[in-house]
């Protein structure tokens, strides 16, 4: 497995792979790898000849410097995990490599980036879109794989690729969960034991909404009320948002659901009993589908 740190090296290798007729996939990550990331590697491996992983903690997508400082960094463990997973190359650039002095060019996606995380984390998706564009231009992959846990991020990246006419396929991969249902996330490492135990309310809230929807409930207000009631059972949880949105345009769902609806959650969990204790923000989602569409997809 090769490890590269400069864009020039990566682009030269990408040119060589293309000249040899080999298809390359990129799995962009911020390191602190877990089984969810490695599932993206498996999705990529089934489609291409070479799988490359980037491990770059992107400073421009953090609206809170303290959050950036707390983000877990495990470079040696990441390299070991990639080697064991059969990754062909790891790209681990410095911030200065991707953001040279006086860099002043940004990629901004419009409507898709404004609600949900875009509303509560100003500038977040500008940072995401910019760094992903840089990584795609550096690696020149035929496809790139992203997890569906970050549903809005996936939608933003797909729109960016479409609008900028980038020649790369964006593939979404299913959420991977712990045995108790908690979605795998690098941020889970920052949870204290009590908050980790309470974080399962995210999945339980999604399960409750899906069960009620399957039983015939289509009133968006009642579905969201049930979600909030479930999350309220966790004493250290504080809802950032809990919303029902169109899964394509991310516009608000109508008061009564008629088609698929994205149930998107973002919740802070306090890592301590004190009101001012550090908080870890986790996200999760589920697409609620009408009975007819469920039957088609499951049959």
For the chain, domains (ranges, CATH) are 2-173 (3.40.50.620), 186-298 (3.30.1300.10)
pLDDT, tens digit only, all 299 positions of the chain: 999 999 999 999 999 999 999 999 999 999 999 999 999 999 999 999 999 999 999 999 999 999 999 999 999 999 999 999 999 999 999 999 999 998 999 999 999 999 999 999 999 999 999 999 999 999 999 999 999 999 999 999 999 999 999 999 999 999 999 999 999 999 999 999 999 999 999 999 999 999 999 999 999 999 999 999 999 999 999 999 999 999 999 999 999 999 999 999 999 999 988 878 999 999 999 999 997 766 566 66
Q: Which of 135, 185, 143, 137 is nearest to 51 (CA)?
A: 143
* DSSP code per residue over 70-94: HS---HHHHHHHHHHTT-SEEE---
**Predicted local distance difference test score (pLDDT) of residue 94:** 97
Q: E strands along 122-270, which residues? A: 143-147, 169-173, 237-245, 261-270
The reply to whether 37 belongs to the active site is: yes
Q: Which of 34, 37, 124, 213 is catalytic?
A: 37
């Amino acid at each position: 497995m090769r490890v590269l740190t400069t864009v020039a090296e990566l682009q030269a290798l990408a040119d060589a792979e293309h000249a040899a007729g080999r298809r390359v996939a990129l799995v962009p990550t911020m390191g602190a790898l877990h089984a969810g990331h490695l599932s993206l590697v498996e999705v990529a491996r089934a489609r291409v000849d070479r799988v490359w992983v980037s491990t770059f903690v992107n400073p421009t997508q953090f609206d809170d410097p303290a959050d950036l400082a707390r983000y877990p960094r495990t470079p040696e463990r990441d390299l070991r995990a990639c080697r064991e997973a059969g990754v062909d190359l790891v790209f681990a650039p410095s911030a200065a490599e991707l953001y040279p002095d006086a860099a002043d060019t940004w990629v901004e996606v419009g409507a898709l980036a404004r609600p949900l995380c875009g509303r509560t984390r100003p500038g977040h998706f500008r940072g995401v879109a910019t760094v992903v564009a840089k990584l795609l231009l550096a690696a020149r992959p035929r496809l790139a794989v992203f997890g569906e846990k970050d549903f809005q991020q996936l939608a933003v990246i797909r729109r960016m690729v479409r609008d900028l006419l980038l020649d790369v396929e964006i593939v979404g991969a299913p959420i991977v969960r712990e045995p108790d249902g908690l979605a795998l996330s690098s941020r889970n490492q920052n949870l204290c034991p009590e908050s980790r135990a309470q974080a399962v309310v995210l999945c339980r809230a999604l399960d409750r909404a899906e069960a009620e929807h399957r039983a015939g409930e289509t009133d968006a207000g009642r579905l969201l009320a049930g979600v909030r009631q479930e999350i309220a059972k966790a004493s250290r949880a504080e809802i950032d948002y809990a919303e029902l949105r169109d899964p394509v345009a991310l516009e608000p769902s109508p008061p009564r659901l008629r088609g698929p609806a994205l149930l998107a959650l973002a919740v802070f969990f306090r890592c301590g009993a004190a009101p001012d204790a550090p908080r870890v923000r986790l996200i999760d989602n589920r697409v609620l589908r009408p009975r007819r569409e469920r039957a088609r997809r499951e049959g």
